[in-house]
Amino acid sequence: MNYTLHQLQIFLKITQLKSITKASEALFLSQPAVSIQLKKFQDQFSIPLTEVVGRQLYVTDFGWEIAEAAQKIINEVQAINYKTMSFKGQIAGRLKISVVSTGKYVMPYFLTDFTNQNQGVDLIMDVTNKTSVIKSLENNEVDFSLVSVVPDQLNLDRVELMENKLYLVGGTKEKFNKNIAKAKIFETYPMLYREDGSATRNAMESFITSRNISNPKKMELTSNEALKQAVIAGLGYSIMPLIGIKNELKNGDLRIIPYKGLPLVTNWNLVWQKSKNLSPTAKAYLEFIKAEKQRIIEENFNWYDQY
């Protein structure tokens, strides 16, 4: 056997994405280069690692075994690199964060300076739904999570980052009938909701329930981006986080509709399990956030107070 670390990395990426094309894009390599390395890697085994059925690439059972071993080898190599940097006095290691979908408009700004200052830090940020974020915390799969509503069922520590404001939002192509009172807008027009379990949906439903508002026309969309595009198209109205619609408001694609009791205000929280033994990298990031969060907010979110 004479395979290289580069071949292991390419094969592992192929198994993760189940596509040579997608693997080449993820690794910033040409598709022929990835195919050549896969062939060279396969030539060292007498048992197939992958097979193509129709036009779809599948990983064989043996291939999955090799991929698991490849992941362990790559992890060990990374650990060596981290240890080398640590001995040089540098912060090095993995930082794993799970983020609720709307948080993708927030979290990168609280990471950029830290990762730029510490080149030995490898960031893994999973943007997903609230249910998956909570699960990743429960299973100790991440260092931190970003949520707007802190779950009660877990014993968590937290740092508040910034406000999360939710407004009633509509598109600008279709203006609602001005003869209809704003108090009747929920009863008259379709309201667009996120999926069950979404913190945005929970906030919207709590607001409607607490005010005994009748809302007979409902539609559900499973991503914030899909919901935003539906509102822009005039499919309905929604209560949405301000953080995700900055450009659409600026461009005149969306507009905030003043409504009594809005905006709803919560906070973006960086949370972690109290019992978790934070890595040196995670501890360094926590110190960075506590020291720099106000500066980051002032530099990147000064537009927030305009609404």
Read off the pLDDT of residues 244-293 as tens digits, 9 standing for 90 and up. Answer: 999 999 999 999 998 889 999 999 999 999 999 898 899 999 999 999 99
Q: Using one digit for the tens of pLDDT, what is the confidence trace for 72-124?
A: 888 888 777 767 766 666 677 889 999 998 999 999 999 999 999 988 888 99
Would you list the domain boundaries of the chain?
Answer: 5-85, 91-162+268-306, 163-266
**Cis link prior to 263 (omega < 30° from 0)?**
yes
**Token reading at 132:** 């998956």
> Residue written as tokens 């929604």?
238
Residue whose C-alpha is closest to residue 152's, from 202, 187, 80? 202
**Which pTM value belongs to this model?**
0.72
**Which numeric CATH code is attached to 163-266?**
3.40.190.10
Q: Using one digit for the tens of pLDDT, what is the confidence trace for 51-78?
A: 988 889 999 999 999 999 998 888 888 7
> Residue written as tokens 């990983």?
59
Amino acid type, 166: L
pLDDT at position 181 is: 62
Fold agreement (91-162+268-306, 163-266): yes
Q: Which CATH superfamily is domain 91-162+268-306 in?
A: Periplasmic binding protein-like II (3.40.190.10)
pLDDT band at 158 (very low <50, low <70, confident <90, very high): very high
Contact call for residues 231 and 113 (beta carbons, < 8 A): no
Answer yes or no: is pLDDT of 199 > 70: yes
Would you identify the CATH topology of the domain 5-85? Arc Repressor Mutant, subunit A (1.10.10)
Measured torsion, CA atoms of residues 265, 266, 268, 270, in degrees rounded to the nearest 10: 160
d(Cα 176, Cα 4) in Å, to the nearest integer?
A: 63
Q: Using one digit for the tens of pLDDT, what is the confidence trace for 170-196?
A: 998 766 555 556 667 888 888 999 888
Answer yes or no: is pLDDT of 306 > 60: yes
Work out the mean pLDDT of the chain and round it to a whole number. 89
pLDDT band at 163 (very low <50, low <70, confident <90, very high): very high
> Residue written as tokens 């740092």?
159
d(Cα 280, Cα 47) in Å, to the nearest integer?
A: 42
